[in-house]
Each structure stands twice: as C-alpha cells, then as structure tokens.
C-alpha cells in the first residue's frame, strides 16, 4: 500500500516536472522569436500583443490531431469518419484570408485571431497560465535587458515534441 502511494507520488511528480519543463521550453521559443525580430515594445500593454504575435508567427505547437467519429464536410471535401487528420495550426496562423501580410511579424496586429492554443472542446487548458507566464517572463526579460541579442543564427531544436529551442545563447547587453 505504502509503496503504491510512493509510486503514485513519483508519477505525479514526474508529470508535474515535465509539464514545468515543457512550459519553460515553450517560453524559450517565444523569447527566441522576440529577440529575432527588431521590435521594442514601448508600453507594457504591448507585451500582450507581442506574446500573441509570437504565438501566431511561430508558436511552440505547430499541429494537432483529430479523428472524426462521423463523416465531416470541410469546405469542398468530406473527411470520412475514423480518419486521422493532422491539423496544421502553424499554417492556419499564416492564412492570408485571416491575417493581412501574414509573413510579417507585427506586434501591433489587431485583431490577432490565431489558433496557437488549438480550439473547440480541446482548446489548451493552460491557455491563461501560458499567456500570463509568457508576458511576465518576456516582459521582465526585455525590460531588464533591453539590448538582448542572439549569439548564434543557428537554432538547435530541442528533443521535445514541441517546436522549442534546446538552448538559446543570448548576449544580454
Ligand atoms: C505557450 C504555451 C502553450 C501552447 C502554445 C499550448 C498549446 C496547446 C495546443 C495546440 C493544444 C491542443 C489543442 C487542440 O488539439 O485543439 C494544447 C492542449 C492542452 N494543453 Fe496546452 N499549450 C501551452 C501551455 C500549456 C500549459 C502551461 C498547460 C498546463 C498547465 C497546458 C495544458 C494543456 C492540456 C491539458 C491540453 C489538452 C486539452 C484537451 O485535450 O482537452 N498547455 N495546448
């Protein structure tokens, strides 16, 4: 009994640790995008827009998956039930029908109806936490070190399933 509880605790701890690590890595990807772009937000409220634009422009999760339980008509196509469908969130976030000049990184973009957190019944449960953490992390970093510069043009992508850098060498001043 005691060893079962210990195993459960260990599993919960492992899950919590990997969630915290993945969130850190995700913020890393947003920081990378932020440093790559030659923009300096002048007001705190602009960090909110900046985080949204990072998420749209090159978010940490480029795709998700759905398996419809019945035939679904999508545009001019019918997706048969039980088909595995990969949904390219990153492509949708650059759709010119929804985002004027979609390949331009623009922190003043308004509205910015990106779907970096997915949508529908399975919309990311951590949306609010991720937004809050990203605004605080990036906001404080940029305010404290306004002259951040990437030390390497090459990205070493992490081993994670997410699109996140494994390391992000940055010069602070
Ligand atoms: C920038 C950070 C994050 C991004 C870009 C992100 C993005 C996503 C995406 C695209 C999905 C799939 C949605 C779908 O299939 O429609 C998802 C699901 C999910 N996310 Fe996040 N996520 C982030 C952070 C977090 C955090 C911090 C947590 C928890 C603390 C979290 C918890 C979840 C959970 C539980 C699901 C599954 C929801 C379900 O299947 O009903 N995410 N996330």
DSSP state of 165: B
Query: Which residue ranges have their beta carbon within 6 Å of ligand 1?
Result: 19, 23, 26, 59-61, 64, 89, 116-120, 122-126, 129-130
Q: Which numbered atom of ligand 1 lies nearest the CA of 134?
A: 1
- Measured distance CA(141)–CA(64) in Å, rounded: 30
Task: Walk along the chain (173 residues) and give the pLDDT tens digit of each residue.
Answer: 445 555 665 665 566 556 556 666 667 777 777 677 755 555 555 789 999 999 999 999 999 999 999 999 999 999 999 999 999 999 999 999 999 999 999 999 999 999 999 999 999 999 999 999 998 888 888 888 888 899 998 988 998 889 999 999 999 87
Cα-Cα-Cα-Cα dihedral sign, residues 80, 82, 83, 84: positive
- Measured distance CA(117)–CA(119) in Å, rounded: 7
Q: Whose CA is nearest to atom 29 of ligand 1?
A: 126
SS3 for 82?
coil
Q: Whose CA is nearest to atom 43 of ligand 1?
A: 124
pLDDT in tens, 114-129: 999 999 999 999 999 9
Nearest of 44, 10, 37, 22 to residue 140 by alpha carbon:
44
Q: Which numbered atom of ligand 1 lies nearest the CA of 122?
A: 41
Q: Please report, for the chain, the start and end positions of each structural domain, with discontinuous segments joined by +.
A: 24-171
By most ligand atoms within 8 Å of CB, the mutation choice from 124, 125, 162, 163 for ligand 1 is 124
Q: Which fold has domain 24-171?
A: Cytochrome p450 (1.10.630)
């Amino acid at each position: 009994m005691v060893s079962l509880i210990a195993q459960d605790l260990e599993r919960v701890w492992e899950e919590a640790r990997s969630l915290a690590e993945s969130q850190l890595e995700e913020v890393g990807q947003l920081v990378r995008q932020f440093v790559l772009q030659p923009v300096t937000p002048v007001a705190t409220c602009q960090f909110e827009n900046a985080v949204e634009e990072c998420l749209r422009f090159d978010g940490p999760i480029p795709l998700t998956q759905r398996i419809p339980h019945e035939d679904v008509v999508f545009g001019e196509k019918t997706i048969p039930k039980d088909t595995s469908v990969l949904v390219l969130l990153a492509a949708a976030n650059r759709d010119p029908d929804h985002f004027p000049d979609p390949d331009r990184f623009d922190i003043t973009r308004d509205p910015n109806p990106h779907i970096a957190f997915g949508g529908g019944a399975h919309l990311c449960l951590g949306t609010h936490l991720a937004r809050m953490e990203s605004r605080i992390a990036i906001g404080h970093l940029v305010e404290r070190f306004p002259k951040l510069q990437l030390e390497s043009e090459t990205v070493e992508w992490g081993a994670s399933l997410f699109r996140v850098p494994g390391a992000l060498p940055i010069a602070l001043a």
